[in-house]
Structure 1
């Protein structure tokens, strides 16, 4: 065993011309170096070659437990349960103008926290509380010679995928048409970098997969690509485009890959009962009959992204890695977006189906890690959410539905953070974070969401310990 002193971390808080700091305690830790040929699930102490970050949007402990109970039973274990290092992190954002804590974050501020290491206000995309852009983990990794990827079941312009490759003052500035009104300082005609869509094309991850095709079809209003669509801009900057699962699987390696598989978010995996004030009979969920068969599932997108980035990082053309003998690896973020969206909609089968598919994507990452134990895999959420498991058949102040689990037992889920059925809200609870592979022990204990940026940066050699 070799001793390693855990880094003393700070969550950067910028705004109003001053920087406040949120300190996270230090702790001594021991770590065993990961042995060559190991299964990749150990904690490990060596330098990772690759980092895979998997985000279950809105995936708090209650969402994980509901998915586990339903899919594998109370005594079963999901893929995400098998990671050896587990901790919790705080998720608060900041009040714009005062920099006091906003205890209930949104996905934009939350994602900006781990993407940049900087706390910001709800709605901000990788800018500080003054609206100043802050470099992201993906941008830093790309500049250092790593291959990069960004995958989501939401619109690729949605908050979580957007934070890696764009900087705007409002998450609503997804396409050129909205930016001049909602983010005037970011509009190209005002000297800015453009909408989220335009900036993602400029950042150009090697793999960019999700929905949001309607924003790519918008016309650019100013600059080099004025009059052309955002998708035209992407093609001009080297992207090949896939629009269905077949094209995704068959895309050649020669160019970066842009997959746009729906006008908006990708379709849900499962459907089921709508909660009511009086509850529902116990029942199982069903596969969504309206799901577009041409759309890839998250696990398929994850598999393609991982294998594609692995191949690109071994083609002999990448920047040399630490030590000068091997090409650098990759950074990849994979998001299961509609766990959150179906929590908002009080849709238990929609929520659980997305969590189960997300867990399949976690399985793809762990399968890769078994063969490539120099890969750090991190699995977490971005904020807490509304669903609660309550006594079977009980009524609450909110809306309930009862599902029959893998144990053939009833599980009642309650939604009670809003008086409106489809207006359920986030909560401010801390979130589980788990990891496996070299440097996985950095996530243990209670940390701050912004510490994840430091963990990944140090893992990729982008920042000193």
Structure 2
């Protein structure tokens, strides 16, 4: 996609100018919708660079299925446009995301804890599980393996840092609701005073990534119940351990170091960071309203908080070093807006995520030794469709190119379809074709040449019982988080819609110390809403070496990968010939 360089001349040539500084041809002109200007074979082969990679940047758009990408593209840059980050990666594939039950059967609609565990550890597990296997045994994450090698590590999100996606890198707990020491029932035997490794907040401190940033500040105010810092807050323990705690965008910008001597803990908001665009909840039958809606900036965004692109850019500056780094960046509230049926919120978060991807790609292009992977954890329920039933939540938006777009929310939960995965840099060819989420662990760990077969120094405790495959109690009503993303607010909205899955408020009731044990009361913490229930057992990945090559194009490298790609894209030659015929009028 051409960037605007000479607006007057390009306008005279028939280009339209759409939000984001991207020019597109008039799609109604002959061949105006074409995305190709010639054969791509040479370019694709050139992009299939061999590893290893010095650095890996993994960017996760939570809930960002193909529907969400298409809706954001249509709204922001038009149907014929290209998102300058997400759509720019040269090598793409598709990725399966299912979780598993206690019996090892497929659970087709996963939550963010199970999916995150997949790429963080290479193993599938049950919904609600954070980097533990189906028996509740802790699994070592790729961030910890990277630390073992002496690489710098970073963990950035727009959610609470205790949320599932950032948590899978830093913690191992049987229930994702184990945010902080006071959540005694949710933490069960993972609590420090029960002999466990502690809550997610506490494990962020003990894991000691060089850089951890997002929301969730209020959970660090909980008092620790056992150990060296008993009676002190988690935040006080972080400061005692040498963490540099920051709370504003200005403090972030002023940083010059993030390492093991002075790791950075950036806590910018009490809970989830506020969404970039103002909330526009789709009402029941809203598709048939008289006027389409235009999205607006969110006036509630704190001026003191950095956006995701700023956090990403600064993280790359702080983590860059001669040995290399691993960085995970999550755009968390695409998912949270989807759960709330917030069409503008969802699109705005996707656009904000795209800007973070642009920062990562700019770094990788200049560096030449960085693998960038862009994907999601799971797909979601927002549907780009028309003519929906008038008894379901729906809305029409007026896009930047002046067309109307209908979005329908048939449920409040996730969907289980495969999702896009795209990559750039050394080893990027490994994402092509169809892979599984767990393959990302191998792709990244091999790329960084991590020793994932070394003995694990983490304690392994056999659980007292196997995980329950029964789903947890279902929340009533669809979650409609406030822009602050308060995980404890009561779900509201259409009382006839039942989002299945990920938690939206603090669980209450019986403890859940066993793996997959039923989280009690309404599910907990983030409005992430997994389909298929918040709790199910899992079967561990039966591959004894999750990082070992599995064969096929997605797992080959070097000349074999290049040859395979060249053969696999031979069809492009036929497409190019047909395109040339069409261009010449034949």
When normalised by structure 2's length, the TM-score is 0.68
Describe how 1:146-225 pairs up with structure 2 within 5 A: 146-178=151-183, 180-225=184-229
Name the structure 1 match of 2:358.
Answer: 363
2:230 aligned with 1:226: yes
CA distance in structure 2 between the aligned counterparts of 1:253 and 1:147, rounded to whole angstroms: 11
SS at match of 2:397: strand
SS at match of 1:402: strand
CA distance in structure 2 between the aligned counterparts of 1:169 and 1:160, rounded to whole angstroms: 14
CA distance in structure 1 between the aligned counterparts of 2:43 and 2:349, rounded to whole angstroms: 34
CA distance in structure 2 between the aligned counterparts of 1:375 and 1:115, rounded to whole angstroms: 18
Name the structure 1 match of 2:572.
Answer: none
2:432 aligned with 1:438: no
2:297 aligned with 1:309: no
> Structure 1 33/142 Cα, relative in aligned 2: closer, same or farther at 3 Å?
farther
2:420 aligned with 1:414: no
CA distance in structure 2 between the aligned counterparts of 1:354 and 1:396, rounded to whole angstroms: 27
CA distance in structure 2 between the aligned counterparts of 1:222 and 1:302, rounded to whole angstroms: 35
Q: 1:270-296: CA deviations, max 9, x gaps?
A: 015321222242121000011111111
SS at match of 1:157: coil
SS at match of 1:170: coil
Bigger relative contact order, structure 1 or 2 (CA pairs below 8 A, ≥6 apart): 1
Name the structure 2 match of 1:329.
Answer: 324
Name the structure 2 match of 1:80.
Answer: 86
> Structure 1 60/74 Cα, relative in aligned 2: closer, same or farther at 3 Å?
same
Q: 1:385-430: CA deviations, max 9, x gaps?
A: 0000112x6545521111111221000100012xxxxxx0001101
Q: 1:322-380: CA deviations, max 9, x gaps?
A: xxxxx310000000000000100000001000010000000000110111111000000
Mind listing any 5+ residue stretches in structure 1 that lack a counterpart? 1-29, 35-41, 314-326, 418-423
SS at match of 2:51: coil
Contact persistence 1:50–1:330 (CA under 8 A)? yes
SS at match of 1:433: strand
Structure with the higher fraction of residues in strand conformation: 1
Describe how 1:11-410 pairs up with structure 2 within 5 A: 42-78=47-83, 79-96=85-102, 98-178=103-183, 180-253=184-257, 255-279=262-286, 280=289, 281-310=291-320, 313=321, 327-391=322-386, 395=389, 397-410=391-404
> Structure 1 31/289 Cα, relative in aligned 2: closer, same or farther at 3 Å?
closer
> Structure 1 31/184 Cα, relative in aligned 2: closer, same or farther at 3 Å?
farther
> Structure 1 32/143 Cα, relative in aligned 2: closer, same or farther at 3 Å?
farther
CA distance in structure 2 between the aligned counterparts of 1:276 and 1:203, rounded to whole angstroms: 43
Q: CA deviation at 1:32?
A: 8.8
Of residues 278-287 and 425-434 in structure 1, the stretch that sits farther from structure 2 once superposed is 278-287
Contact persistence 1:272–1:284 (CA under 8 A)? no
CA distance in structure 2 between the aligned counterparts of 1:84 and 1:208, rounded to whole angstroms: 29
- RMSD of equivalent CA atoms: 1.7
CA distance in structure 2 between the aligned counterparts of 1:252 and 1:439, rounded to whole angstroms: 30
CA distance in structure 2 between the aligned counterparts of 1:31 and 1:370, rounded to whole angstroms: 15
Name the structure 2 match of 1:12.
Answer: none
Q: 1:237-291: CA deviations, max 9, x gaps?
A: 2210110100111123162111000110001100153212222421210000111
Contact persistence 2:376–2:419 (CA under 8 A)? yes
Q: Which structure has the larger Rg over C-alpha atoms?
A: 2
Q: Matched residue pairs, number?
A: 406
> Structure 1 389/33 Cα, relative in aligned 2: closer, same or farther at 3 Å?
closer
CA distance in structure 1 between the aligned counterparts of 2:384 and 2:402, rounded to whole angstroms: 16
CA distance in structure 1 between the aligned counterparts of 2:448 and 2:385, rounded to whole angstroms: 42
When normalised by structure 1's length, the TM-score is 0.85
Q: CA deviation at 1:202?
A: 0.5
SS at match of 1:161: helix
Contact persistence 1:43–1:84 (CA under 8 A)? no
SS at match of 1:287: coil
CA distance in structure 1 between the aligned counterparts of 2:250 and 2:117, rounded to whole angstroms: 33
> Structure 1 189/31 Cα, relative in aligned 2: closer, same or farther at 3 Å?
farther
CA distance in structure 2 between the aligned counterparts of 1:245 and 1:43, rounded to whole angstroms: 37
SS at match of 1:271: coil
SS at match of 1:376: strand
CA distance in structure 2 between the aligned counterparts of 1:52 and 1:274, rounded to whole angstroms: 33
SS at match of 2:154: strand
Name the structure 2 match of 1:8.
Answer: none
